[in-house]
Amino acid sequence: MIIEKNKAVFVHYTLTDGTAEGQLVETTENREPLAFIYGIGMMIPDFEKNLSGLKAGDTFAFGIPADKAYGTYDDGALIDVPKRIFEIDGKIEEGLLEVGNVLPLQDQEGNHLQGMVASVGDDTVKIDFNHPMAGVDLYFSGHVSLVRDAEQEELDHGHIHGDGGHHH
């Protein structure tokens, strides 16, 4: 069975920064494979495009430039916010505003987003709303471990169930 629209795909991969010799970002080796439904918008489009037509046992190795992955780094996504918004009963939780911490936030319309603390000033906190991988060229290598028909319930829910997938 080959990878095509509405197939349940299970892959083991290693992701490095830029090239095969780049810095290791993450790997699924010795863990559960990445499980997703092909063609429903769950994955980076170029990731899927590079897997199209492969079958269980096939290997892959390909790069995706930053602008086709998580986008280029946008300096406009660095926002200064008043430090006081992090206060509860006049105090800021110790350790909350540490550079590198990812904070769950909400905008004025109630949308949930995550931002990383980039710097902390006397009265403001600079929050970086770029994706952590923005500006990074990606290089994937690995192998396809399983391709099967996605079950109707998986298609309805938009994710794989069971081993390697979501558990309700």
Which contiguous run of DSSP H or E holds residue 26? Answer: strand 24-27
Burial class (CB in 10 A: 0-12, 13-18, 19+), 44: middle
- The pLDDT of residue 124 is 97
Averaged pLDDT for residues 33-58: 96
Q: Is the pTM of this model over 0.75?
A: yes
Average pLDDT over residues 94-116: 92
| pLDDT confidence of residue 63 | 98
32 pLDDT band, cuts 50/70/90, is very high
Average pLDDT over residues 38-49: 96
pLDDT at 168: 46
Return all residues near 77 (Cβ < 8 A) that are at least 6 apart: 128, 129, 130, 134
User: Residue 146: is its pLDDT beyond 90?
Assistant: yes
Average pLDDT over the chain, rounded to an integer: 93
Flag whether pLDDT at 165 surpasses 90: no
Pairing type for strands 87-88 and 91-92 reads antiparallel
| Per-residue model confidence (pLDDT) at position 161 | 84
Q: What is the mean pLDDT of residues 118-143?
A: 96
Confidence band, pLDDT 50/70/90 cuts, at residue 122: very high
CATH numbers and ranges of domains, the chain: 7-70+133-157 (3.10.50.40), 75-128 (2.40.10.330)
Give yes or no for residue 90 having a pLDDT over 70: yes
pLDDT at 155: 93
The whole-number pLDDT of residue 153 equals 94
